[in-house]
Each structure stands twice: as structure tokens, then as C-alpha cells.
Structure 1
């Protein structure tokens, strides 16, 4: 005997809650990282987690079946590769939204009582489509963090390689505010340590030295520091 519409909706809601729990576990895994940039990547998971919960609430509200109050995180939440795990969660989010849409269409074509449930379920499907967005954004940030070479500048503040501290960020884009400067990126440069190659050596306030890129050497020079080109600084 096939499952009733109520049972099918509840099963989809359970899957949504499990996805929300795994997103939350993935966020906690990132928060435990020693790398500040990896920790901050978790913020994009908050909206995805909330969207998953809202989707589940919409579906469970159709049948008033709040039998699943909390979902336990899946065993695979703390995967070896956080980026790969997040991409897996995003795929599950897409599959979930698709299945909700399919059931919604089925119920809309059924009898009058089930048709109403189908239209309500369509609203849940619209919310579910938003779930993968934040997950994939966090995965992209992790991918960019991992791609920064270990011997790169890795300073915190993003800079223009030509003009120094003249970057502006808005709408997940970054660009140099100097008129005519071509340097722009389709992501927030502040999400990652500076990936530019080192060109100068800089004395810190503690008497130590560190290597920085051309853009950061410009910024530090404006602050009164005296960066030395590496070809001069090397013995």
C-alpha cells in the first residue's frame, strides 16, 4: 500500500530536518578550526540552516505533524574535507527541493483535499530552493582559502596590488576605488588571506620581520613603515 500524502510530506520534512542538522554540524566543525578564515566561512551556513528549518516547518505545518522535533547530526558531518562535505550537503538540498516539487505537483492533480496540500507544499519548495545557496557559498570560500599558497603574503587586510588599501567590497564583489584601476574580483577578498606573491620584507613592531606583497608594502609605507624589496633584503 503506497504511503498517504501526509506520510510522504512528513518523510520529506524528516529529510529536511536531517539536512538542517548536518548543516549545523558542518558549521560547528568549521567553528572549531584554528584558521580564522575557515571559522568565518561558517556564517554563510546560518541562512542555509534556517532555510532548511523553515522548509521543514512549512511542510510539517501542512499536516500539523510535529513529531520530529530535533534531528541528530549525521555521522558524516565532520568529513575529512569540509569543502567536499559542504558540496555533498548542497546536492542533498537540491535533491530535496526537487522531490518536494514532484510531490507538490502530484498532490495538485489529486482530489480537492490533497490539492490544497499541494499548493501549500509548493511554498515549502520555494524555500527549499534557497538551501543550497549558502552551503555552496561557504564551500567556495573554503576552496579559495585552500588555494592560497603557503608562501603567499597572507596578510589579513585585502589590498589592491597597485594602489594598496583602496579596495571596496559590496554584494560579494571587491574592486579598487581608484578611477581607471582594472583590479576587481567577483568575491569578497576579505574572506581569504592575501594570496599575492611576496615582494618585500617588513620589520614588525616586535622587531621581527615578515614578507609582504607589493600592495601591502604600499599600505605599510603609508603607515610609516619602511618595506625593503626582497632582492635587496636577501643576503
Structure 2
């Protein structure tokens, strides 16, 4: 999604607030208890702190990629739903804002790289979680540089042809909502949930409103 940085920040705040308030609506309507509310907010925050990449070497059924090097902060998997007659795809997620991985292509094919956000759901309904992509570099070639908002359902696709046994150097840098608004996490974790859950809810909503107002006023002037 092509937006300027202030538009990206506003979109992130509005979208985060939507999920945050939905969880508290469940709590205040007594559909979930306090413990469930806290666990869901923690899950929401964890999801907003992660970038996801889906990669597929599309070609033959035996096509795939094999990782040669990646950090402990990266979670790699080869989901069953990502396997078909065109090959086995993989996904990886990371909270580190500067991702470096090296992988090997198995068979000739078309390398598809999908940049997206975490798959986060409330009551089986997927909620948008955005990350801001700053740069994508493949084999020292810059494919993208700037600001690009992506989510699970609004990914960005990059493609390139690849050869059997080709080694690919992959680098991605991104920012999350907490890089722009760290106080969101601080307000949540600095409160005593049992005694101050209402205060926490109000403080976070007030903070979001204040940050949105600041951005909008700054743009006006």
C-alpha cells in the first residue's frame, strides 16, 4: 500500500485500535474474563511486532528452497497448505527489524516473495496487522526502498527467475507500530492489570487519540 509515512502511522494506529477495542468489548460484555482479555492483548501486541515472508520456488512439484543460514530470531516452516503441483513453499517470521537469510533454490523456477504481516485472528476472523517495509535486497540488488505498508491480506509480491542450486542472499528491513509508538507497549506493561484494567484501556485510547491529533496537526502546518 503506497502511503507517506504519516499516513502509514495513522493507518497503523486506527487498525491497532480496532482490534484492541474489540478485545475489550468482549471483556466488558462478559464474553471473556480478565485473564482471557490480557492474553488476547498480549497476542495482539506480539502479532504487531512481527514481519512475515512467504517464499515459493514455483515450477515442478519437487521445487522448493532450502535455508543455508538464518538467525535464531527467525521462525521457518513449510506449511502443508503451501504445497501443490508447482512446488513446496515456505514461510518465515521475525521480530528482528533487519532480516538476513541465505537459501538455496531446488530446481529451476520462478521465485515468488510475498511480504506481509502476521496472521492474527479474533474469534476466527482475521484482523489486519501492518508492518512498514523499508527495503528489500536480493543478491545485493535493491528491489524496493522507501515506505510500503503490508498486511497478511494486502501483501506485496516480488518475483525473479531462479536456477537449480542458485544461492539467494535475502535482506529485509521493516518497522512496526511499536517502533513509531513505543508507549503503546509501555502503557500496557506498566499497569497493574487486576486493579487498573479500566485505566489501562482509557490510557491507551487516549494515547492513540493524542498521537493521531499530533500527526494530523503537524501535517496541517
Q: Could you tell me the TM-score, scaled by structure 2's length?
A: 0.27
Structure with greater proportional helix content: 1
- Name which one, 1 or 2, has greater alpha-carbon Rg: 1
Larger RCO (alpha carbons 8 Å, 6+ apart) = 2
